[in-house]
Structure 1
Amino acid sequence: MKISSHKHLATKALLLGSCLLLNPMSSWAEIDSSAEQVTRLTLQGQIDTGAPLSKSLWAGAHNAFASFQWSEGDYTDVNQWYSPKSLFWRGIRVVEYDVYPMSASDNTPKLCHLGLEEATKCSWTFVTVASLATGLDQLSDYLSTHKDEVLMLKLEAYDSDYHNNFRNLIGDKIKDKLGDYVFKPENWGYNNGDCSSLPVQTLRKQDVLDAGKNIIIVTQIPRKKDLCNYHDEDHASKYLEWVWIGADEFDNGGNLSSSEAFCQNGDQCAKDEDGDETFSANYALGNFSLALDATTEYKKDEIKLHGADVLEKAEEGANILELALVEANATTIGASKAPQIEDYVWSWHSGEPNNANNNEDCALSRSDGSLNDANCTQSKSFACVDDNRNWQISTSSGSWDQGFSACEALGNFHFAMPYNARENQDLLSAKNTAGITTAWLNYHDQNVEGVWQANSEYEDIGYSKSAAKGDDSAGDAFDDLDMLKRKLLGTGALNLRSIKLSEGDEGKFRYVRMCYEQGQVVSHASASGNDICKTHGSISGGRFSEITLGSSGYIKAMTYCVDRDDGKDRVVYLKLTTNQNSSIDSGTCTGTSYSLNDGDQIFALHGRVGNDFIRSLGAHHIAASQVTAPLYASDWLDRDNPANGDDERFTKQQQSGNISSTCAASDVAGIVARVVGNKLDSSLTGQKLINNSAGFACWNSDNGGSSSNTTCEDYEVKYFFTKASCLP
């Protein structure tokens, strides 16, 4: 049967009130995005934001385009129930797309799967298929309201037998549709056209956010060939600009191979000392792996990963859980064993966090290893980890805030939260060894209710939220809290930098755009020069005005007026005033006036929009001290070759003209270093290095060598300064 009959069945299921029919949500009416298991998975997806990708865990969906519920394509053999965007709303964070030309004469990138590799053309499916462009829209549409999330897109894109330039067309579509969302290899320091290997041992989701980005795109196709030789620049230069080719991988001797295909279901995994290719062995080496189930609707009885089997793979060390037929409707296609959203969840216990009595802001590890929120003043032991991620329970107990000192008392340990399911099992073992059932975790939402922060020192950001005034029922709700979450999840250098207001021909306010600048922090990743903007309402004639804030500027006051329009309330006037004695306004104040001026900065907005009018408005406030100055990064510098060692110290760089002569060592905020050539982070070389106020260096004598016996790698360094004047 062609998919037209499937569409009929899906419609019939809706009419009959099957399990597909869920409570409509304003965020995405097709699905229930507020279900408690979705909340748990969504929170879990940000626990590992500060972890290297090799320690991250991703809820994934295989062939996410081949969906019952996505009207863009009629697929006769589907892998998913929900559309790609709906999967994101349900907590999925990595999707896989198969991209092939439409036909021998039509090179349009389309989404279809046939398994014919270079010989595939989507016309052979004999059904309507979605375009890659439409598939990419699914990611950008979701991210327009979730700028605090990091998504991964896995591409199956072979060289085409029919079109030499096909992968470059894919690159063009990525640029057109995803543009500034994508974390490109050049953001990590690769040159354009390089075969760039995903640096999973060092790259973090936090680095992606700190670069002003949201998406990682990677391919591991073909799996059995030299990936870099296959994806050569001759026919893939635009593709290489956006797509990471495989990943860095270590063997048991510590040797690095770049651009290797992910370890997948025990295949192509790096072997441990015993020759095993397990997820566990691969994880221990610091590599990246994939647990894949490619089951289709027609083979639904062969579903491999569902229920407890999913977390079993995660606990072994798999990084991506790329499942098929996620939450597929058993009534319609008979997928009774379809994996469920809760199958991905290793962290929060069912029904948690619940903020009981409105005073549960800190996370506890329960006796079974799952999490619940609790009052932070309870006296408990603490979960501690060392730099090698070995877990130990503190010898003392106390309230949550005492965890930092309690773990430090153990030696080289710090108060921590497990990154993933495997670490959580290690913590559970440590608790059992210590005879402890519950322990505090470095995981809390003390700043903003529902915004959980992991593995960080607690700093009160002075958060408050002013209620929206106006019509609380008209139109659709909007909330730019995701911008504040992004600031908290990254390293802070995200500040409001410009505002644009507009009024319609009738002289009433109707549009606001607030743009944020992601400043440079200490990271291998370079911050984007593009602003991240949030817009509400519609520009329709009339006057518009725009203002740019200075480097330490913020909005200190807001006045707006609400009046009736066509029988409903609407915001007819808005004025914003900065701490730098400038202001911007739009419209004419009639009706009821509201003022917000509490001395803090107004960081983001929330409210409702209907018929292109802003119907209600409120604000998120944080302390003025949270305006974080960006750092200024040098180029990658390599002034010395390691004949007697590698000397990249501050004074030597200054003498070489790489740092301004007016700059002092006290102006250095941080230094990162990597090996010239393979770009391996200096921390992974195993060498004894100098990285302090004097700068960066490697001495042969510290690493078993001498002036005639070179042992130091050749490093390149990037300096980060608090002053722009330090750059030459």
Structure 2
Amino acid sequence: MKRKLTGLLAFCCLTMNTVMSNAFADKISDFQNSWQGKTLQAQRQLDVYSPMVDNNIPGTHNTYNSEAYTSCNFSVGCRYLDPQQKYNIHDQLRMGARFIEIDVHWTTKMEGIFSYPKRLLMCHGFCSLNDKYFTEGLSEVKSWLNSADSHNQVIILYVEDHMDGRHQDAYNQINSYLGNWIYRSEGCKSIPDTLTKADVIAAGKKVLVWGDGGCRNNSNWKNMAFTGLGNIGRIWEDRTTIGTIGNIITGGSDDYITASDVTDYFKQGANIVNLDDMVTDDGRLEAGIWSWDNSEPNNWNGDQDCALQWGNGRWDDQSCDNIYAFACRDARSGDWQVTSNVGVWSQGQNECQNLGADFHFEVPTNSLDNERLKSAKETRNFSNVWLNHDDRMNEGDWQVKGKSTQSIQQNNPVNQRILNGKLTLNAGDSLTTQNRILIMQHDGNLVLYRFSNGVIREPLWATGTNWSNHHKAIFQSDGNLVVYNNFNNPVWASHTHSAGRELVLQSDGNLVIYDNAGQAVWASNTQN
């Protein structure tokens, strides 16, 4: 009877955990599909062409320190007993966190009763022997990056460095999981003031890594990670017991970031606002909305394709043939002015140019600029002004100054052509075109995937060599494409030695080796 009761209790607990997990997931899906979720998504697209130093970026503080990982039992011991988040890393990204923070420590990990090696772990304050591996957090980030949610999105991954110099290990792990998505620093530098999310997306990337502690000696790490945020500002809170005790000892205050704080911070020009306990229903995410007014845009009667700012500073979509003044911005000073003349939406640029050659028809892309425009509008005693924001070309694709915020042209080539002897793909390296990505995976498999809009889709072809790590693929000078294992023994080959001259990842999606006469001698047969 005791065994049956124990089993029943375990089953009930497992069922309850599953139900709660599904309920949490459903709440996030509901939020994403709500007006609030869709408007926040629109704001993340609105600022894609503006320097990130001007963006409003919601994030989470100590992203990994979540009650989703809290436990204290025989199998995993005790860990994350003073959590700062409710949801796991993947779900925080789904809610809209675009700055995530992971404290990485080189510390002891219990891997067995008699096994206590040092590993890179995610831990807060005092590390536990059972804290999660850094790779477990990276795996969740990877899962989100490979989802449709990450389309045209850019995140900053902050690695708080407690790694005791193990930067090569950290580089290997990040490169293994996220390497295809990393926008690299190319040396010891902060994030440039001029960098836009569009620049990152156009390069086929989605992640900026910021590693604190300054420039490091490891060349791989310093060429991947930025050493600072530059002029991107950051505000965070600390709701942990440890944080409270620390504030008492130092005489500081343990300020919580409220919904009104979020609104005010963004109005005042804050960039990153890091929340503890990010959830969908406490009003703080919604407080980050500064653009569209409630239930807008709604395309009433199917004839509302142009945006205006109305009296309260929020936005409405209206017929482009209505008559209003225009929002203009000085390209040199950044100052906003409103025209004295009024007209239909399409007259905006001409009317702004009448104010001077440096004035252009514009749309605010952050809360501070929206407030500045509101003040300029009130100075002119106008209630409503046109914004250079429209979806006339495609319903729902709201353009910024004539550029799409949903279809950002990537710089990936239409095809890749490589002569023999000129290609080596180590573990984590890839070859990318606009519709395919060839990856030498860390499991040893060389895989060709369908690729579109920055998202890796389904696998189309593979060498089937996924039984060990540290493999590499070489298109050799003899024309043979070969995968070698970590003992430098060949484990797969195209058998095109003495014939292959050029490897081409074609625009039709086919990977082909051609001979000197331009005849195909091997192909993956993955066209279209």
The offset of 1:362, in angstroms, is 2.1
The one-character-per-residue Cα deviations of 1:243-292 (angstroms, maximum 9, x if unpaired) are: 111144xxxxxxxxxxxxxxxxxxxxxxxxxxxxxxxxxxxxxx321111
Cα 1:496/1:447, change in 2 over 3 Å: farther
- Determine if contact 2:31/2:280 at 8 Å carries over to the other structure: no
Percent identity over the alignment?
Answer: 25
SS at structure 2 position matched to 1:154:
strand
- Determine if contact 1:361/1:376 at 8 Å carries over to the other structure: yes
Alignment pair present for 1:353 and 2:326:
no
- Determine if contact 2:189/2:227 at 8 Å carries over to the other structure: yes
- Determine if contact 1:171/1:241 at 8 Å carries over to the other structure: no
- Determine if contact 1:181/1:215 at 8 Å carries over to the other structure: yes
Within 2, Cα distance between the matches of 1:155 and 1:381? 47
Unmatched tracts of structure 1, length 5 or more: 1-7, 26-30, 115-119, 187-193, 222-226, 249-286, 330-337, 460-481, 499-513, 519-529, 555-583, 588-601, 603-728
Alignment pair present for 1:383 and 2:358:
no
Cα 1:24/1:65, change in 2 over 3 Å: closer
Q: How does 1:705-720 map to 2 (within 5 A)?
A: none
Within 2, Cα distance between the matches of 1:304 and 1:516? 45
1:232 to 216, 235, 244: 216
The offset of 1:21, in angstroms, is 7.0
Alignment pair present for 1:443 and 2:357:
no
Within 2, Cα distance between the matches of 1:171 and 1:586? 32
SS at structure 1 position matched to 2:139:
helix
Within 2, Cα distance between the matches of 1:17 and 1:132? 22
**RMSD across aligned positions (CA):** 4.1
The offset of 1:310, in angstroms, is 0.9
Aligned residue in 2 for 1:367: 311
Aligned residue in 1 for 2:161: 157
- Determine if contact 2:155/2:206 at 8 Å carries over to the other structure: yes
- Determine if contact 2:337/2:373 at 8 Å carries over to the other structure: yes
Aligned residue in 2 for 1:688: none
- Determine if contact 2:104/2:122 at 8 Å carries over to the other structure: yes
Q: How does 1:206-605 map to 2 (within 5 A)?
A: 206-221=198-213, 227=214, 231-233=215-217, 236-248=218-230, 287-296=231-240, 304-327=256-279, 340-387=284-331, 388-411=333-356, 412-454=358-400, 456-457=401-402, 485-487=407-409, 493=411, 497=415, 515-516=433-434, 534-536=456-458
- Determine if contact 1:63/1:96 at 8 Å carries over to the other structure: yes
The offset of 1:426, in angstroms, is 0.6
Higher strand share: 1
TM-score (norm 1): 0.51
The one-character-per-residue Cα deviations of 1:40-93 (angstroms, maximum 9, x if unpaired) are: 111111222222222122111111112233589952111111222212222221
The offset of 1:404, in angstroms, is 1.4
Q: How does 1:126-205 map to 2 (within 5 A)?
A: 128-144=130-146, 145=148, 146-160=150-164, 165-186=165-186, 194-199=187-192, 201-205=193-197
Aligned residue in 2 for 1:37: 36
- Determine if contact 1:326/1:339 at 8 Å carries over to the other structure: no
- Determine if contact 2:212/2:227 at 8 Å carries over to the other structure: yes
The offset of 1:297, in angstroms, is 7.6
Q: How does 1:605-616 map to 2 (within 5 A)?
A: none
Within 2, Cα distance between the matches of 1:438 and 1:407? 16
The offset of 1:348, in angstroms, is 2.1
- Determine if contact 2:328/2:361 at 8 Å carries over to the other structure: yes
TM-score (norm 2): 0.69
Q: How does 1:103-118 map to 2 (within 5 A)?
A: 103=108, 106-114=117-125
Range with greater deviation from structure 2 (97-106 or 48-57): 97-106
- Determine if contact 1:305/1:339 at 8 Å carries over to the other structure: no
Unmatched tracts of structure 2, length 5 or more: 1-11, 110-115, 245-252, 417-431, 437-450, 464-502, 510-523
Aligned-partner residue type, residue 401 of structure 1: S
Q: How many residues align?
A: 416
- Determine if contact 1:408/1:414 at 8 Å carries over to the other structure: yes
Aligned-partner residue type, residue 389 of structure 2: Y
Aligned-partner residue type, residue 36 of structure 1: W
The offset of 1:111, in angstroms, is 0.9
Cα 1:90/1:159, change in 2 over 3 Å: closer
The offset of 1:515, in angstroms, is 4.7
Aligned residue in 2 for 1:102: 107
Cα 1:66/1:16, change in 2 over 3 Å: closer
The one-character-per-residue Cα deviations of 1:191-232 (angstroms, maximum 9, x if unpaired) are: xxx422222x212212212222111111334xxxxx3xxx43
The offset of 1:540, in angstroms, is 9.8
Aligned residue in 2 for 1:89: 94
Aligned-partner residue type, residue 177 of structure 2: K
